[in-house]
Amino acid sequence: MPSEDEVCQAVLGFVTDGAYPEENVVAAEFPATALAKELELIAQAREQVENEISSLSRENTFDADEWIVQAKQLHADIERSRVTAREIVEQHEQTGPLRSKVEDANAKVGLVETEIAFNEAVAGTLEEVQRLCQQIEAARASLASGQIANAIQQLEATQGALGDDTFFANTNVMSILTIESSRLRQEIEDAVRLRWDQQLHVDCHKGEFRIEKTQGPDSLESTISSLERLGIFTTVNDKFQQELTKAIIDPILQPRRDGTSHAVLVTETGIQIDSEPSKATVAEALDRITRVLDFLRQNLPNQVSATFSQSLVVAVASKTISGWLSAAIPTDLNGLSQFEETLDLVLQLTKSIESWSWSGHEELVGWVNQAARLWLARRRVDSLDRVRKVLARSTGNTKQVERVEKETVSQADGALLDNTNTDDWDAEWDDEKEEATTHTNTTHPGEDEDDEDVSAWGLDEDDGDDAKPQATAPAAGDDDDEDDGDAWGWGDDDDGKDEKTEQSQTAPSSEPVKERNAVQASSEKEVVLREVYTVTDIPDSVLEIAQKQILDSNDISQPPYSDSRVASSGPGLLALPTLILAMFKATSSSFYSLKLNSGQMYLYNDCLYLAGRVRELMEEHNLTRLSPDVESLEKFGKFAYSKEMQIQSTIVTDLLDGAQGFSQCSEQPYKTECENAVSAAVDRIREVYKEWQPILSHSALLQSIGSLLSTLISKAIIDVEDLGDISEDQSKQLVKFCNQISKLEDLFTPEATSDAEAVPVTAVYVPNWLRFQYLSNILESSLADIKFLWLEGELGLEFSIEEVVDLIEALFAESDYRRRAISEIRRAPRG
């Protein structure tokens, strides 16, 4: 442990010198007895420091009195400088009035100089203004005395002076002078225009043009010179040509709606239009306009007539073509001779214009050179317009036409056809033996029977493995019809249709559907098939238009038309029947839909009838180019039929949808809803039958109604098969519904003959008819009867094993007898 003295010295060294004690001293405890000693040591150290400071202060003493003296001297110097500054300021303030006097004198001298210069400028300006005003007044005086040229000269001088960069350019005087100059110019222009109007007087109301010929300063040439100096000749001349066109040219070249025009009287001094219009020919109109142009050429100065080539002659050419020449293009060959005369007259007019060194008649020359194309275009427009008028003016008059077809068939097929002669066909057998060819002929009163393609009748088709002949032909919406459908925007909503919907949209075959033997008998007979259907008066009218083009195409290449300028358009006429048929297809849908009940069926008949007539025309004149048009027309008719069938099928299906799938059909109120739905669907088919009966041929009618009935039956079968459980009451009710639908069989029952009782041919036209009858039998039969129909009958031809099993499970409760029956049905070969 350190001693007490060591501790005190360590603390003193830390306080005085900042020395840090040793470790053993720091760790030691400061004794309380050493506190008094430590304070004494610190007091001694403090006293020693004070003594050192005093000693140092005595050694550094300085003379303060000397500093005080110097400070007083500096203060005195500052006071003297301040007094001197005040004196300088006072002296400067005394020079201000003198300087102001000098500046005022200088300003007065400058003002006097400026006033002198201003007065001189004002005097010069007033002199210049006086001179310009006198010049303007002199110009007005010259104008008043009729010296227009002198007035224009004065005006030009005045405007030139005003246009210079003068010192009064932005003054009010300049504005006044400018306004006066403009007024003078306007007065001169009005005077010149008035003289122009007097010398070239045009009266649009009276239809009169008069030229005043004078010499000297008042001549027309002098007036034109004045207009040119004023820079308004072009405007005035353009207005003159417009007025001349309105007063003279338009009454001659713009015929009225009744075909009348105004005659013209050309004198030595002017032109006068007859106030009353009269009938005129193209030759007369061309002669009138020729005399008018010749008069203008002879009597108008070159400055005026030189611009006719760019405006007046061009307008004359355009108005002549639109007003007379276009209407003069004949639509019949009988008018070609007169048309040739018109072309010669047009060429004479163009030669006259060319001899006058005028241009602008190129449009007339081009029109003559394009006469053949224009005539063909006129024929095209006229024929298409006639098609439109045929549709617009048609009152929907109808007539019945007869379709006759001959088909070479085997003896067995002939006998079958004879036995099934229940579809209103008149089958006749001839003894002639021919090869198996098809001929089609559509007859009309007073016309011979011609051969026609009968591919649509389907007599040459073999049913193959299907024992039930189909009642529909290939659908009109197949791939073969895509071009036709795309051309008119059809078929956009035909995708995704199921087989049942496609079947309801297909066009019927014209042939009565019959069952064919797989092997032909050795002997063959020719059968003649006849039936009638209804068409409107439209096809004959359209055919007449198309036939005229073909006949005229042949006649135009022969005298007296072969020398005509339009004879080269003969082959082009053969393209018009295609456009005529296209026009018919493009516009007929709306007409048939709006003006005829069952218009789509009428359109179907008309298309097939028109296609047959066009085919006859094609074969008669050897026009194979019309073959695609015939096919397109047939497809168009089938498309119309398909759209109508789609609509009716949708209606029938929607009506049956009211039965809600026949669920709970034996309970009220569902029973009443089912009865109403079935009755509505059945009544709808009968209504359609009555509506289509006078329109369609009997075979097409049966096939169409058969397609609708097939759609109804298909939905009914699907709804019944979808029932998971059928009670006895439901079964009885379903049988009633089936019987109600089956009553539609009377639509397919022909009138009885004396030879045999009428037999319904429903199964022939309704593919699923037998299936529907079997379904009705299953609903009211016992399990044994159903098993018998499967094992011994032909139930297996209409239903699959799974369908029969599902119906058995729905109709009968679970039992050993049901299981054995189902097992036997599954093991038995399908009938």
The distance of Cα 13 from the centroid of its chain, to the nearest Å, equals: 113
Is 399 domain-assigned?
yes
Determine the Cα–Cα distance for residues 417 and 415; give it in Å rounded to an integer: 5
Q: Is position 606 within any domain?
A: yes
pLDDT reported for residue 433 = 32
Question: Has residue 347 been placed in a domain?
Answer: yes
Together in a domain, 364 and 307? yes
pLDDT at res. 549: 93
Domain limits for position 24: 4-58
- Predicted confidence at residue 507, as pLDDT, reads 64
Residue 600 lies in a domain: yes
Last residue of a domain, one of 639, 657, 678: 639
DSSP 202: E
* Residue 596 shares a structural domain with residue 652: no
Q: Do residues 540 and 678 both lie within one domain? A: no
Among 292, 528, 310, 488, residue whose Cα is nearest residue 405: 528
Can you tell me the distance from the alpha carbon of 747 to that of 744, in angstroms, rounded to the nearest whole number? 6
Q: Is residue 684 part of a domain?
A: yes
Q: How deeply is 536 buried, as exposed, middle or buried, from its count of CB atoms within 10 A (0-12, 13-18, 19+)?
A: buried
**Collapsed DSSP state (helix, strand, coil) of residue 252:** helix
476 and 614, same structural domain? yes
Tell me, yes or no, whether 671 and 722 share the same domain.
yes
The dihedrals phi and psi of 426, each to the nearest 5 degrees, come to -105, 95
- For residues 782 and 794, give the distance between their C-alpha atoms in angstroms, rounded to a whole number: 17
Q: Residue 575: helix, strand or coil by DSSP?
A: coil
Contact 581, 575 (CB under 8 A): no
Task: Please spell the DSSP secondary structure of 400-416, one letter per residue.
Answer: EEEEEEEEEEEHHHHHH
CA distance 777 to 804: 12
Residue type (1 letter), 487: A
pTM: 0.66
Number of domains the chain is built from: 4
pLDDT the model gives residue 456:
33
CA distance 380 to 388: 12
Q: 3-class SS at 393?
A: helix
Same structural domain for residues 629 and 677?
no
Q: What is the 3-state secondary structure (H, E, C) of 591-640?
A: HHHHHCCCHHHHHHHHHHHHHHHHHHHHHHHCCHHHHHHHHHHHHHHHHH
User: Domain holding 653: CATH number?
Assistant: 1.10.357.150
In a domain, 107, yes or no: no
pLDDT of res. 459: 31
Supply 714's token pair: 């298909």
My answer on whether 358 and 504 are in the same domain is no
Segments in the chain below pLDDT 70 = 59-65, 67, 163-170, 406-525, 752-756, 830-831
Tokens read off for 748: 């397919």
The reported pLDDT for the residue numbered 436 is 31
| Domain final position from 39, 58, 77 | 58
Nearest 5°: CA angle at 140, between 136 and 142? 115
Is 141 within the bounds of a domain? no
To which H or E segment does residue 712 belong?
A: helix 698-721
Based on the fold, state whether residues 614 and 652 are members of the same structural domain.
Answer: no
Contact between residue 607 and residue 411 where contact means Cβ atoms under 8 Å apart = no
With respect to residue 165, please indicate whether it lies within any of the assigned structural domains. Answer: no
Both 623 and 728 in a single domain? no
Distance CA 802, CA 830 (A): 12
CB count in 10 Å sphere of residue 249:
23
Shared domain check, 708 and 582:
no
pLDDT at position 749, please? 85
Residue ending a domain, choose from 639, 660, 676: 639
- 408 and 547 in a single domain? The answer is yes
Same domain as 338, residue 227 = yes
